[in-house]
Each structure stands twice: as structure tokens, then as C-alpha cells.
Amino acid sequence: MNAAEFRKRGKEMVDYVADYLEHIERRQVFPDIEPGYLRPLIPDSAPEEGEKYEEIIKDVERVIMPGVTHWHSPYFFAYFPTGSSYPAMLADMLCGAIGCIGFSWASSPACTELETVMLDWLGKMVGLPEQFLAGTKGEGGGVIQGTASEATLMALLAARTKVIRRLQAENGKLTESEIISRMVAYTSDQAHSSVERASLISGVRMKKIPSDEKFAARGHALKKALEEDKAEGLIPVFFCATLGTTNSCSFDNLMELGPICNAEKLWMHIDAAYAGSAFICPEFRYLMKGVEFADSFNFNPHKWLLVNFDCSAFWVKKRSDLIGAFKMDPVYLQYDQQESGLVTDYRHWQIPLGRRFRSLKLWFVFRIYGIKGLQTHIRKHVDLAREFLNHLSLDERFEVCAPVILGLVCFRLKGSNELNKILLQKINNAKKIHIVPCCLGSTFVLRFAVCASSVESSHIQFAWKHIEELASELLKTKSEEGCL
């Protein structure tokens, strides 16, 4: 395919993309297929000769679309939102064309430098303390990771290295594995599965401290765990706090946890994957009170800030902690300016070596929407969640299972877990909307997350009416069966 054909096909694709998103409402949000549907639809090996583009684009509707879960449908209320916007897509096209691999400053200075400045912009937008910003003289700074999982892992690895170095400086005989075997990291029982996964990868055991009745981690619970573990000779190294848990969007109490972490020299990492975007609105910043105690902070603009996946923003107060954990300098990656102290080599800040020019997405989105436009987007979602909550609250057959603070509503029918599992199944089998469940303690709960950027009040009303009708049907059947 040459440039001339790309000009033609690219413009057709722009229209296809616009058509897809403009009319996504007409597509069934969850697909009607069974596992293994795709393989029989296409040949079992690649063609020897090139095919015509027309054949491929025809197959997008024949092969791909029937199996897509439409995350940007206004009837999608599952998981958490994933960002999507036209300016982010335009930036991604440019990113693809430049196609640089920005592992070092020299491998593409613009890629590195725009990222540093965009992370400063974003840090200011959410009200991060200045220590997290790079500026021109700061010791901190931000980086784009692929996902929050990687950010948590990087933070834990940095904490691990820091403690190993400190203890080996005190006692040169201690081996790395002796130290790691005594290390312990903490998080709440509401933390995302990726936090536990970071522990498995790093080999640092992780203990879950019990959350309170609002599903928040509290200081006394951490303190208790620390005292028990220190008495047993363990070395506490890390605490991962969550702002906006996946289960119920609860918030750990940083004002209690932070001072403990600082006093006990635990690295405090904050995972605000979903909720972080809301902090661009001053009225939600009370939820991050205590962020100044943290060593690292992360949230996903690719969730709720209209930036297409992947773009997870991660800041540290001392970038030397992060870089020190993994610096490797093979000759093939060295260049003249690298020891000048003026450059950033982001390869030391992340698990992979290669990286795309992802900061373009932030730049385009921030400038097209402005801070006000992004605030409008966040506030609209929060308002829509409250609208759903209002419907719920007026129907006494339902109960709300956790405080509704941002765009997530956790609810259930009063009654057994079994009953709610059946309700979920009915909702997802009808495929008019899509939601997923969670467990809060031993309670099976339905999660209603406001997701698509195109979702409006009419969709919330539709969703509520649909859920309410399915619940009525279910309760009627159950009552006829004498099961209630």
C-alpha cells in the first residue's frame, strides 16, 4: 500500500470510525456469539499473495464486529470507563506516523520532553503537591505507564531496592534474598487484584489489612498489622493505598495512613486509577487529602479523562528512587548528552524498554477540551450516577451497598446472593445493557458504572427501567415458585 492508497483508505477509515461512534447506540452492547466463533470465519493461515483492501474492510463487519463488546456504547455500564475521544485518536494517528521508540532522550527528544511537561500539566490539574512535579529543578516527576498494574509494580520494586540498599549498607553480610524473604507489603482487602499480582512478581509478600464498614483502609488496622509483623521480625516496606476502589469506589483514609507510612519508612503508593481524573474538579479534591504523605501516585487518564488506552500517569517524589532500581546502560543505548543531568531516559522508569509517543494524546486532549471541558465531562458522569441512585432510592426492593461518590453505584435486590446472581444473569442475557458484579465482604453486588462519553440521562432512565422490569419479572417468578 502506497501513500496515495493510504490517503484514500485512511479517509474512508476516518468516516468508518466516525460512523461507528456516531451510531454505536444501534449496535447490541454485548455480542451474540459463543467461544470459538471467529476461527471458522477466516482461513487457517495467512495468504501467500496480498489481498485487496476492500476484502479486509468488508471482513471487519463480517468477522470482527459480531464479536465486539462495545465499550463506548451508552448502554455499557461495566467495569470502569475507558477513555475515548476524537482528539486522542487524531494524536494516536500522529503517534503512529512518527513511530519513534522513545526509550531514551536521544531516541526521540520530543517524545521524552513533551511527556515530562504533560505530566507536569496533569499533576497541576489534579492538584498534586509540587514535589511530584519535574519542573526544571525538581527531584520528582511523572511518566506514562501502560497500566496502573505496571505503576504499582514499579513502585513496589523501587521500594524493595531502596530497603535492600539501606539494610545492606548497615550490614554488608545480608543477602538480597534474606532481606526480601523478611519484607512485607500491605494493601487493603479492597485493593485491585493487580496489587497482589505485583507482590507475586516481586516476591515481596503482601498482607491485606481489613477495611472498615465503608470499605476504606484505616490507620489503626495498618498499625496493628505493622506491630504484629515487626514483632515477628518482618520488615515492612510498602503500603498501596487506593483512592476509588474497583469494587465500590471507596477511598482509603490517607490522613491516618500517610503519617504512619512516613514514620515507619514505608513507601506509600497511591493507586487512584479511576478516581484520579475527578481531582481535576476542585470539589472532589477532599478525597485525596493526605496525598502529600505519598511517595508515588498513579491514575489512568485512559479511564476517565477522554484519553484512549493506554495512558497511565505515574508520579514519584524522588525520581532517583525509581531510576536507581533498574538502571542498565548497554553501549548501544548510550549517547553524548546522557550524563549531562539535563535529560530523562524513561526506559529506567518502566518495565518495558520501548515506548510510544503517548504524550501527544494528552496534549491534544488537554488543549481541545481545556480544563473546563474535562471538568464538564467528569461532572456529567457524577450527575448521571446520582440520577441512577435517585431511581434506586425510590424503589424499596433495592438497596444501595456503598456510598455513591463519583460515577459508580453498587446496588442489589434486598435478598440473597443467589437472587442477585440471577438478576445479573437476566440483565446480561438480555444484552440491552452490560454490567458486572463484585463482592463486598460476602455480599454479591451489582456495579453500575457510568462509562461512555456519549451516555445521557435518557440512557440512565432506560437502564433503570430495564433493570427494574427484569427485577419485577424475577421477583414475580420467585414469588410464584414460593421461593421468597
Residues 342-371 contacting a second copy, CB under 8 A:
342-343, 351-354, 356, 360, 363-364, 366-371
* The binder of a second copy chosen from 86, 127, 395, 478 (CB under 8 A): 86
Selected range binding a second copy among 45-53, 262-270, 458-466, 468-476, rule: CB under 8 A: 45-53
| Separation CA 2–CA 409 (nearest Å) | 50
Q: Does 62 bind a second copy (CB under 8 A)?
A: no
**Three-state helix/strand/coil letters over the chain:** CCHHHHHHHHHHHHHHHHHHHHCHHHCCCCCCCCCCCCHHHCCCCCCCCCCCHHHHHHHHHHHHHHHCCCCCCCCECCCCCCCCCHHHHHHHHHHHHHCCCCCCCCCCHHHHHHHHHHHHHHHHHCCCCHHHCCCCCCCCEEEEECCHHHHHHHHHHHHHHHHHHHHHHHCCCCCHHHHHHHEEEEEECCCCHHHHHHHHHHCCEEEEECCCCCCCCCHHHHHHHHHHHHHCCCEEEEEEEEECCCCCCCECCHHHHHHHHHHCCCEEEEECCCHHHHHHCHHHHHHHCCHHHCCEEEECHHHHCCCCCCCEEEEECCHHHHHHHHCCCCHHHCCHHHHHCCCCCHHHHCCCCCCCCCHHHHHHHHHHHHHHHHHHHHHHHHHHHHHHHHHHHCCCCEEECCCCCCCEEEEEECCCHHHHHHHHHHHHHHCCCECEEEEECCEEEEEEECCCCCCCHHHHHHHHHHHHHHHHHHHHHHHHCCCC
Q: 188: closest CA among 201, 203, 206?
A: 206
Interacting stretch for a second copy, rule CB under 8 A, among 145-153, 208-216, 315-323, 385-393?
A: 145-153
Q: Which of these segments, 171-179, 234-242, 283-291, 383-391, binds a second copy (CB under 8 A)? A: 171-179
Residues in 372-401 at the binding interface with a second copy, rule: CB under 8 A: 372-373
Residue (60 or 255) nearer to a second copy, CB: 60
Map residues 249-288 to x or -, x wherever contact with a second copy holds by CB under 8 A: ----------------------------------------
Site size toward a second copy (CB under 8 A) is 153
Q: Is 422 in the site for a second copy (CB under 8 A)?
A: no
Contact pick of 25, 28, 121, 139 for a second copy (by CB under 8 A): 121
Least Å from the CB of residue 423 to a second copy: 14
Q: Is there binding between residue 479 and a second copy (CB under 8 A)?
A: no
Q: Please state at what angle helix 319-326 crosses helix 148-170, rounded to 10 degrees.
A: 80
Which range in 91-99, 211-219, 456-464, 472-480 contacts a second copy by CB under 8 A?
91-99
Considering only 215, 239, 444, 464, the residue that binds a second copy (CB under 8 A) is 444
Query: At its nearest, how many Å lie between a second copy and the CB of residue 459?
Result: 18
Interacting span for a second copy (CB under 8 A) from 13-21, 206-214, 222-230, 289-297: 13-21
Q: Does the protein bind a second copy through residue 443 (CB under 8 A)? A: no
Q: What CA–CA distances, in Å, run from 317 to 222, 268, 276, 410?
A: 23, 11, 17, 34
User: Which of 166, 327 has the CB closer to a second copy?
Assistant: 327
Per CB under 8 A, the segment of 165-173, 281-289, 324-332, 463-471 that binds a second copy is: 324-332
User: Is residue 22 part of the contact set for a second copy (CB under 8 A)?
Assistant: yes
Do residues 311 and 151 touch, judged by C-beta distance below 8 A?
A: no
In the set 29, 122, 184, 281, which binds a second copy (CB under 8 A)? 122
Out of 25, 28, 109, 218, the only residue in the binding site for a second copy (CB under 8 A) is 109
> Which of residues 106 and 389 has its CB atom nearest to a second copy in the complex?
106
Q: Please tell me whether residue 337 binds a second copy under the rule CB under 8 A.
A: yes
**Mask: binding to a second copy, 123-142, rule CB under 8 A, as x and -?**
-xx----------x------
Give the nearest distance from C-beta 288 to a second copy in angstroms. Answer: 18
Site for a second copy in 174-203 (CB under 8 A): 175-178, 180-181, 192-194, 196-197, 200-203
Question: Quick one: 290 or 437, whose CB is closer to a second copy?
Answer: 437
Alpha carbons 83 and 413: distance in angstroms, whole number: 30
Phi (first) and psi of residue 308, to 5 degrees: -65, 145
Q: Least CB distance from residue 256 to a second copy, whole Å?
A: 25
5 touches a second copy by CB under 8 A = yes
Q: Which of residues 290-309 bind a second copy (CB under 8 A)?
A: 302, 308-309
